Amino acid sequence: MTKTRPLILVTNDDGVTAPGIRALIQYMREIGDVVVVAPNQGMSGMGHAITINSTLRLYEKHKEEGLQEYSCSGTPVDCVKFGVKVVADRPFDLLVSGINHGSNSSINVIYSGTMSAAIEGAIEGIPALGFSLNSHDINADFSACKKYVQQLAKKVLEKGLPKGVCLNVNFPYLPKEEIKGIKVCRQANAYWDENFDERKDPFGNSYYWLSGQFVNMDGGESTDEEALKEGYVSVVPTKFDLTAHEFRKELEGWFTGA
């Protein structure tokens, strides 16, 4: 009897040709059979967007033993849904998203297409990890990530994850020998202080570019921001239950006898 290799869904938000996903595909092929469904263009900042008011295309790009590659006209979350419902002929054992060009630590988790794909995996009951490197350079060197990506993927395959939880993994952009190891963290409390850069089009009308500065307001311990700064790989267990349970009791008090 042949033992079936784990089936791994690989996606990202930088698009199927980005160096980060090409690296991730190679790392995953050493662990299991790989199905790639990734956006056919950059989808950074798409958050948990899905395509419901327009149509979607799915393109078969490549097929060989242990590897099927598709691209999709939709968002990262659309890609996950396509992988699960259209492409796969058996359930996925693992979903990995990334490796993102740029950190998805702290509040970035909520804007990130990379992490939304991992969260969608958790929603669909697939153990999932999102990987991001703290460099936006399209030519960034991902090689220092390999050891940790494979270690974490194997751990999750072996141990599973609690229902509704995925992992948000961020790498400092450092040479292999300077990375200090893995640190389990919480999401730092930070926000983006935006600028709208106003410009004039050739017809004299205003248009805007959204940009901003990252502001970390979190002075506390065990944050992902702190771990990255210290040279650790940050791992934040991440969930899709957004209920602020700790405020429910007090909120109930607003309406009793009111």
Q: Rule CB under 8 A: is residue 160 a binding residue for a copy of itself?
A: no
Q: Which is nearer to a copy of itself, 99 or 161 (CB)?
A: 161
- Which residues make Cβ contacts (< 8 Å) with residue 9, sequence separation at least 6? 35, 36, 37, 80, 83, 84, 88, 92, 94, 95, 96, 121, 126
Contacting residue, 29, 51, 67, 150, with a copy of itself by CB under 8 A: 51
Burial per residue of 127-161, b for 16 or more beta-carbon CB atoms within 10 angstroms, e otherwise? bbbbbbbbbeeeebebebbbebbeebbeebeeeeb
Q: Does 213 bind a copy of itself (CB under 8 A)?
A: no
Q: Does residue 138 interact with a copy of itself by CB under 8 A?
A: no
Residue 176 CB, shortest distance to a copy of itself, in Å, is 18
Cβ at position 145, least distance to a copy of itself in Å:
16
Per the CB < 8 A criterion, the answer to whether 230 and 221 are in contact is: no
The pattern of x and - marking residues 56 through 95 that bind a copy of itself according to CB under 8 A reads xxx---------------xx-xx--xx-xxx---------
Site for a copy of itself in 172-191 (CB under 8 A): 181-182, 184, 186-187, 189, 191
Number of residues that bind a copy of itself (CB under 8 A): 74
